[in-house]
Amino acid sequence: MPELPEVETIRHALLKGNLIGQVILQVEIKNKKLVKEISSENFTTSLIGQTFHNLERKGKQLIFLLDKWALLSHLRMTGKYFFDEVPVNLLAEKRSIGLIIYLSSGKKLIYCDARCFGAFYLQPRDAFRVSVPYKNLGPDALQEEISVDYLKNCFQTLKIPIKVALLEQKIISGIGNIYASEILFMAKINPLKPTNKLSREEIEKVLYHTKVILQKALELGGTSVVDFISPFGKGSYQQELKVYMRENKPCYQCQTTIIMERINNRSSFFCPHCQKLEL
């Protein structure tokens, strides 16, 4: 579930926890499925003795920069980070600890993942940007400039529903199911509208509302509608949601009933009046 605002909130929390400058003393892997493209033994031995120098993010990926390695972390659906201990009220998380990194400060960096869909990639620091998964990510929805011409070219080639296109991380990285529904509502575009049918003005609206919504969600610590929680606690952007998880409730703008439709096996929420399908 964590999308760009949630992952960026986690990044801020880890930096505030004085992660930078800490040396890795020990690595305890509780779930080997989380470690990709390298054996758990090599993963552990490569990390021990390394120092955290920076923590970056692109899209939904966290990137821990060490002495000679880049540790990429994708939280997928239910990944979470905690310092030292998992809060006592989160017993389910205590049962789903996947990785523990012991730091020179005496602290522990704990990664929990109830559904075990998360992924860790350990790659040479000087090569990770030209390696998968990083090289397959499109421009970051908040940190990088995205032009109307770039999106128009992508959309003309794809010819798929705009809702599906917004979730395609090779085009724009960072948008997930929650914010895609919210962006399209604010842009007054039906989620089923084919990308090659979008006007230049509609693409401009998509870009504008992408930046505005993601920035506002970041300011509010992300959206906690299911189980997202950062080391800071829960976010509050769920109070700002206009259509997501509001099926059968009245639209805030026209009072028409919000509907939910499965598009490419993902739930999409929209107002059939405000977001008419015009081809």
Q: What amino acid positions are annotated as catalytic residues?
A: 2-3, 60, 266
* Residue 263, SS3 per DSSP: strand
How do strand 119-124 and strand 35-36 relate by DSSP bridges?
parallel
Secondary structure, 3-state, 75-120 = CCCCEEEEECCCCCCCHHHHCCEEEEEEECCCCEEEEEECCCCCEE
- In the chain, the amino acid numbered 81 is Y
* Residue 171, SS3 per DSSP: coil
Question: How many Cβ atoms from other residues are within 10 Å of residue 63's Cβ?
Answer: 20
Cβ atoms of 229 and 96 within 8 Å: the answer is no
Phi, psi for 58 (deg, rounded to 5): -135, 125
Cβ atoms of 2 and 75 within 8 Å: the answer is yes
- 161: Cα separation from own chain's centroid: 21
